[in-house]
Amino acid sequence: MQALNKKTIEDIKPEGKKILVRCDFNVPMTNGKIDDDKRIVESLPTIKYLAGKGAKVILCSHLGRPKGEFNMKYSLGVVAERLTELLGKPVVMAKDVIGDDAKSKADALKDGDIMLIENVRFHKEEEKNDPEFSKALASLAEIYVNDAFGTAHRAHSSTTGVSDYLPAVAGYLINKEISIMGGALSEPKRPFVAILGGAKVSDKIGVITNLLDKVDTLLIGGAMAYTFIKSNGGSIGNSLCENEKLDVAQEIEEKAKAKNIRLLLPIDHVVSDDFSNDANSKVCFGACIPDGWQGMDIGQETVNLFSTVIKDAGTVVWNGPMGVFEFDNFATGTKEVARAIAESGAVSIIGGGDSAAAVEKLGFADRVTHISTGGGAALEFLEGLELPGIACLLDK
């Protein structure tokens, strides 16, 4: 797969070199405080390796959506403070991105020093992958390292543009993400089970199509299941459904049948009379949800069915919740699937987003093989697409 044939930080000589490292420090924040530092922690192996080898490390990232303006609500200053704590050594914070402060602080770095420049999205040119901005960013360093898997599917200045001006290699996190997911897709331990949930079939068509050439069983939950159920003539009441994708759902089922792949849909549903946590709810069996009611979660029979399949799996890939996970009363299906994966002993890959949140919230994070740091990037990778932030790196 992609990064397996790409050069990494172990293929360069970092000693005494200024190295620009793109990290994913887009951490969740509340009132200026970091809620979860997982993404910062994931960047540490690359930073420690480079600094330990005597490189002058210049970190960069985006945070939030500042819309191309210097908005200090989105400053990376708090990230620099947290990095200083985690690394046990000072991380110098620049006041700008490509301005005088960043340049002078980069020039003052000694071997092993670490600095962080300000939020790259303070410049609108970043997301436009503007060549002049990319060139200015690249001028801070001599080598570029991409270690931000979460943004590897974006062709921005700090993810791809700088590679036009600097030798570009992968950091440990990107290499880990692609090695584990790539290995699971190319040489899975069987049976290979994929679990897909979430709201829309349209978001997952590419993923399903790619996985149909690889998996033994496909489990479909979440609101996207109702598009499949309706396409088979089932009654789904007021459940979310993409009517324009009914033909696509039928085609997917026919392809699965032709390839001898089990495609399993929910056999019972927790339904409600309103889209809220406190709505009246009941369980419906089969494909007959009454009018005025909507599917909110998979039922216990489906949990049992899915769990049995997961228990026997050699490899499991999961992306997307089984129900309205943000409502506690309709989170059971997602939680039970997470539990089944954690207890399965299979090679288990969680593709970011709500699935990752469920696994972490339930305390199962240390019982799965890999939780991807990038929701959108993981999806595109599972779809078999080339990620721009990886394609631009030097080949081995």
As annotated, the active-site residues are: 39, 200, 353, 376
Residues 6+ apart with CB under 8 A from 235: 287, 288, 289, 290
Q: In whole angstroms, what is the distance from residue 199 CA to residue 263 CA?
A: 18
Q: Show the tokens assigned to 235.
A: 């009654």
Q: Give dist(CA 377, CA 350) in Å, integer.
A: 12
Q: Indicate the residue type of 394.
A: L
Quick one: how far is CA 29 from the chain centroid?
A: 18
Q: In one letter, which amino acid is 222?
A: G
Cis geometry, peptide bond prior to residue 191 (ω within 30 degrees of 0): yes
Where b means 16+ CB within 10 Å and e means fewer, 175-193 reads bbbbbbbebbbeebeebbb
Amino acid at 84: T
Quickly count: other Cβ atoms within 10 Å of residue 103's Cβ. 16
- Cα separation, 207 vs 120, whole angstroms: 30
CA dist 315 and 93 (Å) reads: 42
| Residues found in the chain | 396
**Contact, 20 vs 60, CB < 8 A?**
yes
3-state secondary structure of 104: helix
Start-to-end Cα distance in the chain: 13
Residue 303 · residue 336 · CB < 8 Å: yes
